Amino acid sequence: MNANISHIIFKHKESIIDQWLEEIPKFRTEDSLQNITDAMYENTNREFVDKLLSTVKNQTNDHADLVPFTERLIQLGWPLNYITRGLQEFRKITVATLSKSETDYNDSIELLQEIENWIDEIVNLLVNEYSGSWENTVFLQKMALKELSAPLIPVVDKISVMPLIGTIDTERAKHIMENLLTGVIEHRAEVVLIDITGVPVVDTMVAHHIIQASEAVRLVGAKCILVGIRPEIAQTIVNLGINLNKFPTKSTLKKGIETALEMTKRQIVEMEG
Amino acid sequence: MQVQTHVDINSEWGIVAARQAGRKLAREIGFGSVDQARITTAISELARNIYLYANKGQIYIEEVSNANKRGVKITAIDQGPGIKDVRKVMEDGFTTSGGLGAGLPGVRRLMDDFTIDSEVNNGTTISAIKWLR
Amino acid sequence: MRIPILKLRDYLLISVQVELDDKTALQFQEDVLSKIHEEGSRGVVIDLTSVEMIDSFIAKVLGDVVDMSNLMGAKVVLTGIQPPVAITLIDMGIMLEDVPTALDLEQGLDRLQLELEG
C-alpha cells in the first residue's frame, strides 16, 4: 500500500479499533458464536482487528501472514458471514474516520481506492481459505460415504453379505452394483445376501435397483438372497405391486444364512461333548 | 488437444474396429472398466445398426468437455432409409431384424445424453455422450 | 476365425478367448451345435472370462445357442461373465433369463452335473 496512506490509517488506528469493537457485537447472532465465552470472543475480535491493521504496513497486497490466523478462525468455527460483515464494517469505519479527519488530504479518491483494494484483497484471501476448507470437508465426507457405502463381507466360504444402509439413489446403486460384482468374483461367493434392514424406504426405484443388482449377480454366476425385510417393507412392496419372486427373500439375516448354507449343501452342527 | 477418430462402417469388420477405437479413447480419458464396457457396447450397437439398415456409414468418436466435466461422444451417421417411427424404435423389444430389440433403447440407457435425428429416405444421425463421473 | 471346442467325456468345454465379431459368433453357434450332434454331448460349458463386451447381437447368439442346445438335449452353462459385461447387459435390459451361470469353468462343470442329475 501507498506509504503515505498507510501512515494516515496508522495514525487513526486507535480510533478505528475502538469504533469497530463497539459495532461488531451486533453481528454476534450465530449459534457458534453464542457458545464461546465473552472473554474469548473479545480477545479474538481484538486479535482480528490488530491483524487487519498490521497488514497496512505490507508494501504488496500479499497478506499471507493472515493465513494462520484464518485457519484458527475456521477451526474455532467462526462463520464466514460474521467475518465478511466484520470486514465491511471495518471498511465503513475506516473510510468514515479518514474522511472526517483528513479533509486536507488532496486525493480522496485515491485514498478510497487504496482502502477498497486493501480490504478486497483480505476478503478474497479469507473467502478462499474458508471455501478451500469446505471443499476439503465435502471431499472427505464424500470419501467417507463411499467407503461406508457398500462393503461386501465374506462370512463363510462361498457366502458373502452386503448390508445396505441409508437411502439408495441411482448414483449409489451403480456403486453398490460394482462393489457387489467385483466382491463376488474376489471372494468367489456362490451366494450373496443383500441385507436391507438399514434401508429406510423401499420404493419402486429402490426395488428396481435391487432387482437389477441381483440379476447382474446371477449373470456373473452367483445367487442373491434378499434379507432384512421388515413388515412395513413387505407391505409397501406388495402394495406397490413390485415383483420380487425371482429370488428368495427372508425376514432376517440369520434365516438368510441358513438358506444360503442349504443352497451350498452345508449345515451348522453342534459339537458333542 | 481433443481427439477425434472416425471409422467407416461398410463391413462387419468396421463394427469391431469402431469398438476398439472407442475402448481405446474411453480408457485414455480415464473411464473405469464398467463405463468402458458401456461405451464399447453402445458403439457396437450403433455400428451394427448402420451395417444392418444402411449398409454403410460412419462412426465418429471424440472427446468432449463442458464447464466442469469430460466425456466421450459417439456420433453415428448414415444415408440409409431413415427411421419411420422414432418413438417405436426406442421401445424395448421392438425389432425389425429379428434381434432382441434392445439396441437403441439400450444405447440410451448405457449413455448419459442421447439424441436421434432421422428422416425417411434421407438417413439417420444418432449421437450419444457418456460423461466422466 | 474359429473358437476351439474341447470334448471331455459327455461334455463340451469352450473358452472364448477372442473378441467376438458377428461372423465368429455365428460360426461358433454352428460349430457348437454340430459338435453336440457328433458327440452326443449332454452338457456344454461356455467360459466368457476373457470376453470384454457383449452387445445385444452377441447376447442373442449366446441365448440362441443355449435354447438350441437344450432342444438337442444338451444343457449349457455360461461361466466367467465379468462384472462390467454383466452390468452392461443389465443396463441394456438383457437378463439372459433361464440361462444357468457359474463363476468359472470348474463351478460350471459342477453346475452341469447338478442340472443333469436333478
Cβ atoms of B59 and B47 closer than 8 Å: yes
User: Which residues span the domain enclosing A201?
Assistant: 153-263
Whether A271 maps to a domain, the answer reads no
Q: Which of A125, A143, A161 is the last residue of a domain?
A: A143
Q: Which of A143, A166, A197 is the last residue of a domain?
A: A143
Q: In this structure, are A84 and A208 located in the same domain?
A: no
Q: Is B102 in contact with C21 (Cβ distance < 8 A)? A: no
Q: What is the ipTM of this complex?
A: 0.90
pLDDT at B60: 96
Could you say which residues from 14 to 43 on chain C have a Cβ atom under 8 Å away from some Cβ of chain B? 19, 21-23
- Selecting from C86, C104, C107 the residue whose C-beta is nearest the C-beta of A219 gives C86
Q: Which of A105, A124, A143 is the last residue of a domain?
A: A143
Q: How far apart are CA A179 and CA A176, in angstroms?
A: 5
Residue A88 β-bridge partners: none
Query: At what angle are helices C83-92 and B33-49 packed, to 10 degrees?
Result: 50
CATH number, domain of A108, equals 1.10.490.10
Q: Is B110 in contact with C23 (Cβ distance < 8 A)? A: no
How far away is chain C from the Cα of B33, in angstroms, using its nearest Cα?
6
pLDDT digit string (tens) for C5-61?
Answer: 999 989 999 999 988 888 999 999 999 999 999 999 999 999 999 999 999 999 999
Whether A234 maps to a domain, the answer reads yes
Whether A270 maps to a domain, the answer reads no
pLDDT at A1: 67
For an interface test with A, the pick among C48, C88, C97, C103 (most A C-beta atoms closer than 10 Å) comes out as C103
Q: Is A216 in contact with C90 (Cβ distance < 8 A)? A: yes
CATH number, domain of B96, equals 3.30.565.10
pLDDT at B111: 96
Residue C78 confidence (pLDDT) above 60: yes
Domain count, chain B: 1
Q: Which three cell numbers stand for residue A25?
A: 457485537
What mean pLDDT comes out for the span B117-132? 93
Q: In this structure, are A123 and A24 located in the same domain?
A: yes
pLDDT at C32: 96
CATH number, domain of A189, equals 3.30.750.24
pLDDT at B37: 96
Nearest to B80 by CA among B43, B44, B126, B36: B126
B100, C20, C23, C89, C112 from C57: Cα distances, Å: 7, 10, 11, 11, 26
How far away is chain B from the Cα of C84, in angstroms, using its nearest Cα?
4
Domain count, chain C: 1
User: Which residues span the domain enclosing C87?
Assistant: 5-117
Q: In this structure, are A102 and A208 located in the same domain?
A: no
Q: Please tell me which residue, A31 or C101, carries the higher pLDDT value.
A: C101
Nearest to C79 by CA among A193, B33, A222: A222
Residue B97 confidence (pLDDT) above 80: no
Q: In this structure, are A13 and A124 located in the same domain?
A: yes
pLDDT at B99: 74
Q: Please tell me which residue, B2 or B132, carries the higher pLDDT value.
A: B132
Q: In this structure, are A124 and A54 located in the same domain?
A: yes
Report which DSSP code applies to C50.
Answer: T
Give percent above pLDDT 90 in chain B.
68
Residue B109 confidence (pLDDT) above 90: yes
Q: Is C86 in contact with A222 (Cβ distance < 8 A)? A: no
Residue B131 β-bridge partners: B71
Within 8 A of B111 by CB-CB distance, chain C residues are: none
Q: A99-108, A123-132, B59-68, C81-90: which has the highest mean pLDDT?
A: C81-90
Nearest to C78 by CA among C95, C60, C63: C63
CB atoms within 10 A of CB A128: 12
Q: Which three cell numbers stand for residue A157?
A: 466360504
Q: Please tell me which residue, A43 or B102, carries the higher pLDDT value.
A: A43
User: Which residues span the domain enclosing B79?
Assistant: 4-131
Question: Number of A:C CB contacts under 8 A?
Answer: 51
Q: Is C87 in contact with A181 (Cβ distance < 8 A)? A: yes
Give the three-class secondary structure for A142: helix
For an interface test with B, the pick among C26, C51, C55 (most B C-beta atoms closer than 10 Å) comes out as C55
Q: In this structure, are A248 and A159 located in the same domain?
A: yes
C interface residues, A as partner, C-beta within 8 Å: 78-83, 85-87, 89-90, 95-96, 101-104, 107-108
Q: In this structure, are A133 and A193 located in the same domain?
A: no
B8, B122, C76 from B83: Cα distances, Å: 21, 9, 37
Q: In this structure, are A113 and A50 located in the same domain?
A: yes
Question: Number of B:C CB contacts under 8 A?
Answer: 71
Q: How far apart are CA B131 and CA B38, in angstroms?
A: 12
pLDDT digit string (tens) for C38-50?
Answer: 999 999 999 999 9
Within 8 A of C79 by CB-CB distance, chain A residues are: 221
pLDDT at B96: 78
> Which one-letter amino acid corresponds to residue A84?
T
Q: What is the mean pLDDT of each run of 10 residues along chain A (273 residues)?
A: 76 84 80 77 85 74 76 84 86 83 70 83 87 85 72 92 88 89 94 93 88 94 94 89 87 94 91 83
Q: Is C107 in contact with A221 (Cβ distance < 8 A)? A: yes
